Structure 1
Amino acid sequence: MTEMSLSGTLTATGETRPRTSPGPMGDRVLHALTFGSACLVLLVLGGVFVSLIHGSIPALQTFGFEFLVSQSWNPATDKFGAAAPIYGTLLTSAIALLIAVPVGLGISVFLTELCPAWLARPIAIAIELLAGIPSIIYGIWGLFVLAPFLQRNFQPAVIDFFHGVPVLGSLFAGPPYGIGVFTAALILAIMILPFISSVTRDVFETVPSVLKEAAYGLGCTKWEVVRRVVIPHTRAGVIGAVMLALGRALGETMAVTFVIGNAHKIAASIMAPGTTISATIANEFTEATGDIYTSSLIALGLILFVVTFIVLAAARWMLHRMEKQGK
C-alpha cells in the first residue's frame, strides 16, 4: 500500500497533490488575527468605560452619592441629580417589556404552530421590517399621530376608569397630555417587538418535531404543547431574546426624546411627562457650558453603561444556570 505524503494527498493515479489546508504559519496568522480582534473589542470597551469615568469625576466629586438620589436638575445653579432620568429609563423599559413580551411570544407561537405556510412568511417579513425603521421616524410618528390619538381617545377613558381606585388611581392619574412615560414606553414596545418575535420564532423552530408529535400522540392540545414542550425546551433562547430587547430599550434615544415630555421629575402617574438618561443627554449635551454641567451628563452616560452591563451580565448568568440545570 502506498503511504500518503506528508506534504500532500494521493490522487487516483497515485500522484500527490499539494495540501490546500493552511500550514503551521497559516494557523499562527489566523490565531493572531482572531485573538487581536477579540482583544480590540475589550480595549474599545475598556476605553469607553475609562473615558466615562474620567469625564464624570468632577460631578461625582461635587455631588457624591446625592447625584444618584436627587431629582434636582438646574443648570442655572449647577445643581444636578440623576434620579429622574434613572427612574424614567427603568420605568419605560419595564413597561415596554410588559407590553412587547406577550405580544412577541404570541406572534412567534402563531407563526410556528398555527399560521398557514402561505401566510407565515409575509407576516414574518412585515414584522422584521419594523426593525429597519429609523428611530427618528418612530419619534415623529409618535409625536404627531400616536400622542394625539392617546390624548383624545385612550388616556381620558383610562384616567376616568381608574379614578378613585387605590394605587391604580395614582398610577393612571391625569391630565391627559398625550406625551409622557406611557407613550414613550408604547413606542419602545413597538420598536423592540421585532427583536423578541424574530428570535423566539427562530428558537421555536428548533424544537424537534418528534417531541411535539409525541405530545400530540398523548392527547395534548396546541396550548399544552406550547406550554409544556415548546417554551420549556427553548426557555434559554426566549430569555436571551427578552434581554436583547431590554438592552435595546434601555439605550433608545431619539424616539423617546420626541414623546416622553423631557421633564426632570419623578411622578407617580405613568401618564405624566418624564425623561430618560439617553433623552437627557441628547437634549442638553450641546447646550452644556460649564464643567459641572458637562460632567453631569457624562456621569449619566456612565450610569447607563453600568446599568446595561448589569442587565446583560445578569442575563448571561441566568442562561449559564439554565445550562447547568439542563445538564
Structure 2
Amino acid sequence: MSIPSRFRLDPLFRQACLSCALLIAGLMLALLGELLQGAWPALQHFGLGFFFSSDWDPLSQQFGAANALYGTLISSLIAVLLALPVGIGIGVFLAELCPRWLSRPLSIAIELLAAVPSIIYGMWGLFVFAPWFANGFQAWAGEHLLDVPLLGSLLSGPPMGVGLLTSGIILAFMILPILTSLIKEALRTLPNVLREATYGIGATQFEVITRVLLPAIKGPLFGALILALGRALGETMAITFVIGGAQDIQQSLFMPATSISATIAEQFNEATGGLHIASLIGLGLVLFFITFLVMGSARLLMHRRPA
C-alpha cells in the first residue's frame, strides 16, 4: 500500500523547520564567536577589570566599560518606569473604555509611532525636546527641588537639556507603542464572561479593570515589559543624539553620560589603535550578554509562573 504524497512531505517539512531553528542558533553562536575574537585583545590586556573600570581615554589607551554600562542600564530603567504606567493606561482605555469607532484609528496612530526611525526621535529630542526640557522642568527643578532629600542630588546640575533623564524620556516614547499594542491585545483576548461575571456581583468598572482584568494578563504584561526593555537596551541613534556623550558616571540624572551603543556609534569610525577597536567590540560583547541575560531570565520567570 503506497503512502499518499501529502504524507511524504511531513518528514521534509520537519527537517526544514529543524534546519531553520539550527540556523538561528548557529548564527547566534557565530556572532558570539566573532565578538569574542574581536574583543579578545582588550580582554587579554585589561582582564576582568575592563568590565568594572570607569576609565575611557583613547590617548592613554585606557578603556573600561563601566561608564557605558551605567548609562545603558539607567536610561533603559528610566524609560521602562515612565512608559509602563502610561502604556497600561492607554491599553486599558483602548481595550475597555474607548468607543469602537474611535479605538481603531487611535490604535493605528499609536502603532505607527513604532515605524518612525530612531534618528527622527533623536533629532526631535535634540532640537525640540531638550531646549524645552532645559528651560522648563530642569530650570524649575533647580529652583524648587534641590533641598529635597535624595531627589535634590538626582536632579541637580545645570539645565543643559541633554543627559541621562532626557535619553530615558526619549526611549520611553520609543517603547510606548510596543507596550500599548501588546497590553491592548492581551486585554482583548480575555473572554467577556470574565467581565460579565464580575459586573454581575456588583463590581464597578474600576474594580473590574484593576482587580480582575489586569491581574489576568500578568504574564503577557511581563512579556511586553521585557520586549520593551530589550528595545531600550539596544537603541543607538536616538540615544546618541540626546545622552550627551560624556564618559563619566554622575549622580545627577541631568548630567550628560553615555551608553554602550552610543559609544560604539560615536567612536568606531574614528578608532585607530587595535586596542581601541577591541575595546569597542568588547562593549558590543557586554551588550550582547546583557540582552541575552535579560531575555533568558524573562523566559525562565514566565515558565515558572503558576498558571
Q: TM-score, normalised by structure 2?
A: 0.98
1: distance between equivalents of 2:294 and 2:206? 31
| Aligned: 1:151 with 2:114 | no
- Which residue in 2 is equivalent to 1:230? 213
Q: What is the alpha-carbon distance in structure 1 between the residues aligned to residue 164 and residue 86 of structure 2?
A: 20
Alpha-carbon distance between aligned partners in 1 of 2:200 and 2:94, rounded to the nearest angstrom: 22
Find the aligned partners of 1:245 and 1:159 in 2 and give their Cα distance. 31
2:107 partner amino acid:
A
What does the per-residue CA deviation read over 1:212-241, in whole Å, with 9 as the maximum and x for residues that have no partner?
A: 111111111112111221112111000000
* Cα shift at 1:70: 1.4
The whole-number CA distance in structure 2 between the counterparts of 1:171 and 1:258 is 22
Q: Distance in 2 between matches of 1:243 and 1:158?
A: 31
| Residue 174 of structure 1, CA deviation | 1.7
Q: 2:21, 2:148 → 1: CA distance?
A: 55
User: Is 2:71 aligned against 1:88?
Assistant: yes
Query: Which 10-residue stretch deviates more, 251-260 or 118-127?
Result: 118-127
Say whether residues 1:298 and 2:281 are aligned partners: yes
Report how many aligned residue pairs link the two structures: 307
Amino acid in structure 1 at the alignment position of 2:6: P
Indicate the SS of the match to 2:297.
helix
Between the aligned partners of 2:259 and 2:247, the Cα distance in structure 1 is 9
Q: Quick one: which of 43, 56, 61 aligns to 2:44?
A: 61
* Matched residue, 1:216: 199
Give CA deviations for 1:297-327 in whole Å, capped at 9, x if unaligned.
Answer: 00000000000001001111111111xx21x
Partner of 1:48: 31
Task: State the Cα deviation string for residues 262-285 of structure 1 (Å, max 9, x = none).
Answer: 000000000100000000000000
Task: Give, as a single letter, the amino acid of the residue that structure 2 aligns with 1:188.
Answer: L
1:121 alignment partner AA: R
Cα distance in 2 for partners of 1:43, 1:207 equals: 38
The corresponding residue for 1:202 is 185
1:77 and 2:51 equivalent? Answer: no
The CA deviation string for residues 53-101 of structure 1, in whole angstroms up to 9 with x for no partner, is 1111111111112211211110011000111100000000000001000
Q: What is the Cα-based RMSD across aligned positions, in Å?
A: 1.2
2:7 maps to 1:23: yes
Q: Distance in 1 between matches of 2:151 and 2:251?
A: 10
Would you identify which runs of 4 or more consecutive aligned residues in structure 1 move more than 6 Å?
none
- Find the counterpart in structure 1 of residue 149 from structure 2: 166
Unmatched runs of 5 consecutive residues or more in structure 2: none
Matched, 1:125 2:108: yes
2:121 maps to 138
- Give the Å deviation of 1:187: 0.6
| Distance of 1:313 and 1:229 partners within structure 2 | 29
Residue 13 of structure 1 is matched in structure 2 by: none
Of structures 1 and 2, the larger Rg is shown by: 1
The alpha carbon displacement at 1:160 in A equals: 2.0
CA distance in structure 2 between the partners assigned to 1:164 and 1:106 by the alignment: 32
Cα deviation, residue 159, structure 1:
2.4
Using the alignment, how far apart are the partners of 1:302 and 1:226 within structure 2? 42
**What is the distance in 1 between the residues matched to 2:118 and 2:132?**
20
Give the C-alpha shift of residue 7 in structure 1: 6.3
Aligned identity (percent) is: 50
CA distance in 1, matches of 2:106, 2:7: 48
CA distance in structure 1 between the partners assigned to 2:7 and 2:97 by the alignment: 52
The gaps in structure 1 that reach 5 residues or longer are 1-5, 9-18
Q: Aligned partners of 2:138, 2:32: CA distance in 1, in Å?
A: 41
- Residue identity opposite 1:77 in structure 2: S
Distance 2:245 2:104 in 1: 39
- The more displaced of 53-62 and 277-286 is 53-62
Query: Please, what TM-score do these two structures have when normalized by structure 1?
Result: 0.92
The aligned runs of 1:281-292 (5 Å cut-off) are 281-292=264-275
* Secondary structure class of the residue paired with 1:239: helix
Q: Matches of 2:2 and 2:138 in 1, distance apart?
A: 77
The residue type equivalent to 1:22 in the other structure is R
Spell out the pairing of 1:167-182 with structure 2 (5 A cutoff).
167-182=150-165
Q: Distance in 2 between matches of 1:203 and 1:92?
A: 27
Q: Which among 294, 299, 306 is matched to residue 311 of structure 1?
A: 294
Residues 97-144 of structure 1 deviation map (CA, whole Å, 9 limit, x = unaligned): 010000000001011111111111111111001000000011111111
Instruction: Give, in whole Å, the separation in 2 of the partners of 1:23 and 1:109.
Output: 46
Larger mean CA deviation between 61-70 and 99-108 belongs to: 61-70
